[in-house]
């Protein structure tokens, strides 16, 4: 249940078609990161027993939901998309109040979600198999895709609407049931998603919401024997832990994790145009995106132009409450993120990097978690600033003596999510595509993903099939091979 009093939202878990409190009646408050005196939501602090009840409800519902025709399952997703579209302003405002990003970015996330859900609804009718010839006479062979069972969907706080739907929508489309655990600090958005699904008439138990910490709820979901697939988006550290736990039960995982994405500018005459795209990719959501560009590698001869353009673009940002119409960058999501960002600025100074702009908190009257867009130059490629994911508005600039060296610097990372290259040299572009160790490659544009295209990475950025698009079915279904002798 979602109730609102004086703009504070009180939410509960949703288990087996019922809104219920934590079994211990424990709650926690979530503040507005733009105004920490304002409480956005009061959420349940759930227990392992609550998680077990949610899993049992999903397991029971799977028996009937998996038998519902695919086209009928898709109708619930289309209806959800229609409901989201009719409530887009309300949902976007909640997203901004709870997560902090500017309202324009929140509306963009809502619209992207609508597009992805409608695409995924259509995928329900495209879960096709194959007919294969046999080596023997009078034998027919075919393959079919079948749902896995109960899917645990564990989502992050940076995109609290679109990321959960990248898990929930394909799971339901394929005939699975879901136990959905949103990030604790965006529990109200998790409840809003669930509330909209309830309005579609989705049968009880098909989607279950459980809000609580990773320790009390997340681990139980991962370890429960009736959970047959785990889809997670978050840090590489937590994803690695989930992978270890799931491997003990031989359960498949789909993990979307960290990134330290680089953009190369080399032999590209429109330096200012490249910088405009890179800055947008670096500082959207205050740099709190796994696909944020956080490193730039350039030719030394372009340094002055790049530095001047970067400084100008970064200092154009208007920092403030995301609900204010002129705001172009909101606060960081929490005090922890603010402290982490400050720590990396100190590390940058200690490592001898040069601060080009930013590097300090932007103080507001109501003390939100604000931090200015920050750019360091003269960053060493083996430094912590260049290597570690900050998840904040900090951009590091390095130089290379050749394009080959630029690629080597880019690939010298544990991560491999996205990469961009700005060049008019066709040989460089071909070399970049062939050698970049990243799952999503962008030539002459920023790290923008589209609603029907597979999304994923390499190395420590991902494990398992890519989400979205045609690859989602590889995780959300199992394959059966059928031999039929006449």
Q: pLDDT tier at 171 (50, 70, 90 boundaries)?
A: very high
- Give the domain 3-257+461-484 fold: Aldehyde Dehydrogenase; Chain A, domain 1 (3.40.605)
Domain ranges of the chain: 3-257+461-484, 262-443
Residue 116 has pLDDT above 80, yes or no: yes
Give 69-106 pLDDT, tens digit per residue. Answer: 999 999 999 999 999 999 999 999 999 999 999 999 99
Question: Where would I find the beta strands (DSSP E) of 234-340?
Answer: 252-256, 261-265, 293-299
Q: Which two tokens stand for residue 432?
A: 């970049």
The CATH-assigned architecture of domain 262-443 is: 3-Layer(aba) Sandwich (3.40)
Residues whose CB is less than 8 angstroms from the CB of residue 244 and which lie 6 or more positions away in sequence, other chains included: none
Residues whose CB is less than 8 angstroms from the CB of residue 10 and which lie 6 or more positions away in sequence, other chains included: 1, 2, 3, 4, 41, 42
Q: pLDDT tier at 68 (50, 70, 90 boundaries)?
A: very high
Residues whose CB is less than 8 angstroms from the CB of residue 361 and which lie 6 or more positions away in sequence, other chains included: 338, 342, 370, 371, 372
| Percentage, residues of the chain above pLDDT 70 | 98
Instruction: Give phi and psi for 433, each to the nearest 5.
Output: -60, -40
Length of the chain counted residue by residue: 486
- Helix-then-strand count for the chain, H and E: 15, 24
* Cα distance between residue 174 and residue 469, in whole Å: 13
**What is the average pLDDT across 116-132?**
95
pLDDT of res. 216: 85
**What is the average pLDDT across 471-484?**
96
pLDDT of res. 3: 57
pLDDT of res. 6: 59
Report yes or no: 153 and 171 within 8 Å, Cβ to Cβ.
yes
Give 40-62 pLDDT, tens digit per residue. Answer: 999 999 999 999 999 999 999 99
- Catalytic option among 256, 300, 351, 365: 256
Residue 5 has pLDDT above 70, yes or no: no
Verify whether residue 123 is a known catalytic residue: no
CB atoms within 10 A of CB 190: 28
Give 126-165 pLDDT, tens digit per residue. Answer: 999 999 999 999 999 999 999 999 999 999 999 999 999 9
Q: Which two tokens stand for residue 196?
A: 């909209």
pLDDT of res. 215: 84
The pTM is what?
0.96
Residues whose CB is less than 8 angstroms from the CB of residue 324 and which lie 6 or more positions away in sequence, other chains included: none
């Amino acid at each position: 249940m979602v109730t609102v009093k004086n703009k504070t939202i009180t939410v509960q878990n949703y288990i087996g078609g019922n809104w219920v409190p934590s079994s211990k009646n424990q709650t926690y408050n979530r503040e507005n990161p733009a105004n920490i005196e304002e409480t956005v939501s009061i959420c349940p602090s759930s227990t392992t027993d609550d998680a077990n009840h949610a899993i049992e409800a999903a397991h029971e519902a799977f028996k009937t939901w998996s038998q519902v025709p695919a086209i009928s399952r898709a109708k619930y997703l289309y209806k959800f998309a229609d409901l989201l579209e009719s409530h887009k302003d309300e949902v976007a405002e909640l997203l901004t109040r709870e997560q902090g990003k500017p309202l324009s970015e929140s509306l963009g996330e809502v619209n992207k979600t609508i597009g992805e859900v409608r695409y995924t609804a259509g995928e329900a009718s495209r879960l096709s198999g194959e007919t294969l010839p046999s080596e023997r006479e009078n034998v027919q062979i075919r393959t079919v895709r079948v749902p896995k069972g109960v899917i645990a969907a564990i989502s992050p706080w940076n995109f609290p609407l679109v990321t959960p739907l990248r898990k929930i929508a394909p799971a339901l489309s394929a005939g699975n049931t879901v136990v959905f655990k949103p990030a604790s600090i965006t529990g109200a958005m998790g409840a809003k998603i669930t509330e909209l699904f309830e309005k579609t008439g989705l049968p009880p138990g098909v989607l279950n919401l459980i809000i609580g910490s990773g320790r009390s709820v997340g681990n139980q979901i991962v370890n429960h024997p009736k959970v047959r697939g785990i889809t997670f988006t978050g840090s590489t550290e937590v994803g690695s832990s989930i992978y270890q736990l799931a491997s003990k039960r031989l359960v498949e995982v789909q993990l979307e994790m960290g990134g330290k994405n680089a953009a190369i500018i080399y032999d590209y005459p429109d330096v200012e145009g490249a910088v405009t795209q890179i800055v947008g990719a670096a500082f959207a959501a205050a740099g709190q995106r796994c696909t944020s560009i956080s490193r730039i590698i350039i030719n030394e001869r372009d340094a002055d132009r790049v530095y001047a353009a970067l400084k100008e673009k970064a200092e154009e940002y208007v920092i403030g409450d995301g609900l204010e119409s002129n705001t172009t960058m909101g606060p960081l999501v929490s005090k922890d993120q603010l402290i982490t960002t400050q720590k990396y600025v100190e590390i940058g100074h200690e490592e001898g990097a040069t601060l080009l702009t930013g590097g300090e908190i932007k103080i507001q009257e109501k003390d939100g978690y604000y931090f200015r867009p920050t750019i360091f130059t003269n960053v060493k490629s083996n430094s912590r600033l260049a290597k570690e994911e900050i998840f904040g508005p900090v951009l590091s600039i390095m130089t290379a003596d050749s394009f080959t060296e630029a690629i080597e610097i880019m690939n010298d990372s544990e991560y491999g999510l996205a990469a961009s290259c700005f060049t008019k040299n066709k040989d460089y572009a071909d070399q970049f595509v062939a050698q970049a160790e990243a799952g999503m490659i962008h030539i002459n544009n920023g790290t923008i993903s589209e609603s029907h295209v597979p999304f994923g990475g390499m190395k420590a950025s991902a494990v398992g099939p890519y989400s979205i698009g045609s690859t989602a079915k590889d995780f959300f279904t199992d394959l059966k091979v059928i031999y039929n002798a006449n």
